[in-house]
Amino acid sequence: MSANALQNISKIEDSLWEAADQLRANSKLTSSEYCMPVLGVIFLRHATNRYQAALQAIEVDQAAGKMPKRTLVKGDFIKRRALMLPEIARYDHLLKLPSGANLGAALVEAMNAIEADFEPLAGQLPKDYDRFENKLLEDLLRNFDSEALRKASGDVFGRIYEYFLMKFAMQGAQDNGEFFTPPSLVQTIVNVIEPDHGVVFDPACGSGGMFVQSSHFIEHEGLDTMKRVTFYGQEKTATTIRLAKMNLAVHGLEGDIREANSFYDDVHRLQDGRALWGNCDFVMANPPFNVDMVDAERVKDDRRLPFGLPGVNKDKRVSNGNYLWISYFHSYLSDKGRAGFVMSSQASSAGHGEKEVRRKLVETGDVDVMIAIRSNFFYTRTVPCELWHFDKSKPPSPASVGGAGGEGAALNHKGNVLMLDARNIYRKVTRKIYDFSPEQQANLTAIVWLYRGQRERFLGLVQDYCTRIASESAAITPALTSFETRLTASRAPLVAAFTESAIALNTLTSEKQRAFADAMAEWAEAANAYVTDRTALTAGLVGWARICAHADSKKSNEAQHATRQSFDPLAEAARGLIKQIDLLYKLAARAAQLANELATDETAAEFFDRRATGKLIKQLDEERKAAVEQLKAATYLHRQIAWLQDRFPNAEMQDVPGLCKVVSRADIEAADWSLTPGRYVGVAPVEVDEDFDFEQTLRDIHVELADLNREAVGLAAKIQENFEELGI
């Protein structure tokens, strides 16, 4: 997703939240009371979007003869990850209700119809809409009916749904380590453990994000989620279970999610009657961190604690519940299972009883990948964390089977652990929130591939970047042409009014005229230089795309390096052209401003339309932004290739200071059994950022300022409200 698209979605999210929160204020309800009704409306909007997309896909298949023309059934929609919504539950039906209709009753009827038609949602959807006034419900429905939202794809609306889950979580967050799991971290876990078959279990499932992301991963492989996996979840809060079931249902998914406190309860059984314990193919979770109130007497004999209790205080409480979770996750796995979970950064180097559990865990050889994440990835906390990954299917250490392994062999055997320090890898979303871009996630995953000896997947990612560069490069010429057309249109009225008009020239003061003439000359000179460089760049891009199309680069690391290196000068030229485009816009704006000053003369004013010229300059700025973003899109992808190839030049796993290192059990023992990545990878060498993006930095500053302004307005309103309540 491009930076512009990301910014547009962020604006939509913020505007929707602002509108919905204003309605909450008008309803006099608390956030917890308002949460479920609002999420219910978003659920209907999202479900309707998915229903319509699935219906369109069905009609296309029927027209192409891939599917018989017959009465549709629920399975036709579930197959396409959507619900077959009854008509009374479709968003457009609710919007078309006659004026004065009881919207509260209509929404309850819609929810009941969905529950009656989709058994997993029975009793889960919100139905307390009768507490709202009709006008408020009408406003709420219309807030989520913009043209952008009607056309929003599943991924886009899924993000908006997650955004609202996050915002409500922030308003109701408790100080006990429980908070909404950022999709960026969930996706990273999914990328590492690849949950594409069998039993997938989340014993602290929250709103079900782990299951949804697993489904996206499976569908990306071209497979049918519900034919490949069975989802099981436990969650101790009934309201959160409702959210999880809604989240699954809106994606056309099902799962067995039950209310239970996973510290004490293990309530699930497989269809054949076996327990989940020891039989899960994948375990995924973001459990509450640092819980210190677990009753040691109740868990001391739990079979899910093969490494024993981590430590008990004088009140017979487990000192810290982190290693209870860690032990549980490991014990649930089958003999070939994988686990991925979020954990407090304190846990990887904790001492005393926790260190003893960690030692036993390392000695199993099942610890696979440790990833350090910087602070500010969570929405409600600023704490750093680590992503732990287990893999019980890792092969034995070469030393234990009498061999050292050949060149390029996988390093993920039971004697090793991949330490990956991703604290310097992030994208700033807001002043307080960071995440990974899709490319950053892909690059981190590529390191795991190399660790596992999957060189062809690494090369495939590089090839994908090459293909995308070619695609983005092909769009550069049209973007530049649009900019140039608007640039010419912006110059024409200035030339006509103040260069070709003898009357205007004769009536102008020499000082103003000289400044304007100098500005126009500088503009013309810059334009000539731009044309020369633009011609060279576009010709070079065409030639590079031709070379790239014929290069057998997917199979050859050497060919990929040559392809990337041949683009290096083009990337440099593109960055230079961006500066020239920005300069041309500034010169055009300056000339227009000087023309405005000249046009204050009554005689000159009749030759120059200031309003029309101002509009042209504004349009020129839009075309400038589009052209610059297109050039940046190509150079950005080129940087991704450079990032990978500079660190892994042979397309094989190697230690990279400050980023990654494959460590042995002996290394871990020497480090007091620590699993903290930063302790092993060292410090990255200082790099000069030749691609420093000044404009992006200014945008980041603008984002921070906008956030601060919003917080200031909210704080001022709260202070005013408090004063009014005090009668001051």
User: In whole angstroms, what is the distance from residue 473 CA to residue 542 CA?
Assistant: 8
**Residue closest to 50 by CA, chosen among 311, 251, 289, 294:** 251
Supply the pLDDT for residue 397: 80
Supply the pLDDT for residue 179: 45
Supply the pLDDT for residue 402: 43
pLDDT tens profile 679-689: 999 987 776 55
Supply the pLDDT for residue 406: 38
pLDDT tens profile 565-592: 999 999 999 999 999 999 999 999 999 9
The answer to which of 58-62, 128-132, 220-224, 440-444 has the lowest mean pLDDT is 128-132
Q: Which residue has the higher pLDDT, 38 or 671?
A: 671
pLDDT tens profile 191-207: 999 999 999 999 999 88
CA 106 to chain CA centroid, Å, is: 35
Q: Which residue has the higher pLDDT, 706 or 647?
A: 647
Cα dihedral sign, 164-170-176-177:
positive
Percent helix, percent strand, percent coil in the chain, to nearest 5? 60, 10, 30
User: In whole angstroms, what is the distance from residue 700 CA to residue 428 CA?
Assistant: 7
Length of the chain: 728
pLDDT at 474 over 50: yes
pLDDT tens profile 696-724: 566 556 556 665 676 677 677 777 766 66
Which of 37-46, 96-105, 444-453 is the most confident on average?
A: 444-453
Supply the pLDDT for residue 177: 37
CB atoms within 10 A of CB 402: 6
The residue type of 512 is K
Supply the pLDDT for residue 403: 39
Task: Give every CB contact of residue 722 below 8 A, 6+ residues apart in sequence.
Answer: none
pLDDT at 554 over 60: no
Secondary structure element (H or E) that encloses residue 500, with its range: none
Supply the pLDDT for residue 37: 85
Supply the pLDDT for residue 146: 77
CA distances from 651 to 51, 450, 460 (A): 43, 7, 11
pLDDT tens profile 168-179: 766 654 434 344
pLDDT at 400 over 60: no
708 close to 431: Cβ distance less than 8 angstroms: yes
pLDDT tens profile 341-389: 999 999 999 998 999 999 999 999 999 999 999 998 886 677 899 999 9
Supply the pLDDT for residue 625: 95
Supply the pLDDT for residue 175: 37
The residue type of 485 is T
pLDDT tens profile 104-157: 999 999 999 999 999 889 999 999 898 888 888 888 898 888 777 776 665 566
pLDDT grade for 325, boundaries at 50, 70 and 90? very high
389 bridge partner residues = 340, 369
pLDDT at 278 over 60: yes
> Residue 372 is encoded by which pair of tokens?
């350090």
The 3-state DSSP class for residue 649 equals: coil
CA dihedral 622, 628, 634, 639 (to 10 degrees): -130
**Residue closest to 230 by CA, chosen among 195, 203, 189:** 195
Q: Which residue has the higher pLDDT, 482 or 708?
A: 482
Secondary structure element (H or E) that encloses residue 386, with its range: strand 385-391
Radius of gyration of the chain, Cα coordinates, nearest whole angstrom: 30
Q: What is the DSSP string of 100-113?
A: T--HHHHHHHHHHH
Backbone angles phi, psi at 283, to 5 degrees: -125, 130
pLDDT at 409 over 60: no
Task: Give every CB contact of residue 647 below 8 A, 6+ residues apart in sequence.
Answer: 654, 656, 659
Backbone angles phi, psi at 356, to 5 degrees: -65, -40
Instruction: Please tell me the number of Cα atoms within 13 Å of 276 on its side-chain side.
Output: 27
pLDDT at 18 over 70: yes
Secondary structure element (H or E) that encloses residue 692, with its range: none
Supply the pLDDT for residue 496: 79
User: In whole angstroms, what is the distance from residue 684 CA to residue 656 CA?
Assistant: 8
**Residue closest to 554 by CA, chosen among 461, 479, 418:** 461
Supply the pLDDT for residue 494: 85
318 bridge partner residues = 294, 312
**Residue closest to 276 by CA, chosen among 336, 228, 328, 211:** 328
pLDDT grade for 504, boundaries at 50, 70 and 90? low
The 3-state DSSP class for residue 404 equals: coil
> Residue 476 is encoded by which pair of tokens?
């550069």
Average pLDDT over residues 287-310: 93
pLDDT grade for 401, boundaries at 50, 70 and 90? very low
pLDDT grade for 56, boundaries at 50, 70 and 90? very high
pTM for the whole structure: 0.85
